[in-house]
Structure 1
């Protein structure tokens, strides 16, 4: 059975934040229940592993699963918390004498190339604007609103009658942005807080209460919330709707048409 593993489920700063003395960051330092690396998952397919986002915690994430090298990575957008590990991956490829493969929409690849122009020595880039296949999965990107931070891409995966999507950095989706969320068996969705009080123009990711409305509208069978900030405490009993749960670092999720929802 194919699956994916949460290598990280934190927001752009991770948890704990070095400057912060809040209760969540304090607990993360003491016992680690709330310790969260930047958001990333490793998808395990019949054709091998596909990393989804390669942020600045990449080295620690690889060490955490005992992985000494990867060949393929899918990128959602060119913000540092999602691409900051690419130089380290490229350097690993240099030492291993291999060449990795990065898949992303053209405009994402162009931004990455402008920031890290030397990466192509060790990483091949593959535009996937029109979609791609990997390990038998049909994978289609679509552009989503990332609030004050501009845009991101989400991905819809389909295989053998099973459909799931990864949408880590989005807010206030409208119209066609919601269409690929229909008829999903599983949605992985980013939510920074349970309820965020900051004004909407200053924000970039859903909070949980807004996510619940989106889920009710689009109707996923199961939803896992990721991209959690230090505003989320896993020790709290949040009133989550049926079929909704919080992600955990190292959590493994099985994919397939015979998987039963929560």
Structure 2
């Protein structure tokens, strides 16, 4: 039994190491004093972080990513929460099929999704526009919100809503005073995860952006095609730190493991 436990611990440790290797390499490499990325870093310098301020393309791309991530998470939470509540509360014909369709972007490869959106958006004159990029990001964010909110509603006591309505509360007040406070952690978790998914997205964004509209992950990708310099490592480290902070907040609010928890269907 002890041998089996040690094997599980070893496999878990190796898995965590495999996942953390990009951070363990990229972040130290961003502090190198050399003019090329090196690991272990040669010397210790913050020069590549200060030089970010002299690269307006990275600054502009960062704010573009934040803008689209905020908008995508807002609309993703709006549509995803309403959809999840409707699925959980009402007997809808073909509910299982509907859930599968709404959460399909979770299983479809993003490369395939990006190609499909490009084909669909091109006749609508949305390809290469900010509106098209925003819609694409909303599409990939909504399934995560639905999954979180359905998980939050899985143990929801609907007698509380019925009791409030018997006492004279209208449906809007019932939602605002009863339903929303109970599922708020799930909604906030969906919002944070949506922001993270949108902010870090490369594959779908690659098909939706134009030469005059860039996001930070795409700017990093573009610069790495030309030459991998320490400034790319410093930008990547900023993205990693933001992602880790959001994941820690998400774990505190709702628990990352509950994303794949059972949903009420």
Shared fold (TM-score greater than 0.5)?
A: no
Max Rg structure: 2
Structure with a larger share of its residues in strand = 1
TM-score bucket (shorter structure) = under 0.3
Q: TM-score scaled to structure 2, two decimals?
A: 0.23
Normalised by the length of structure 1, the TM-score is: 0.23
Higher RCO, 1 or 2 (CA under 8 Å, sep at least 6)? Answer: 2
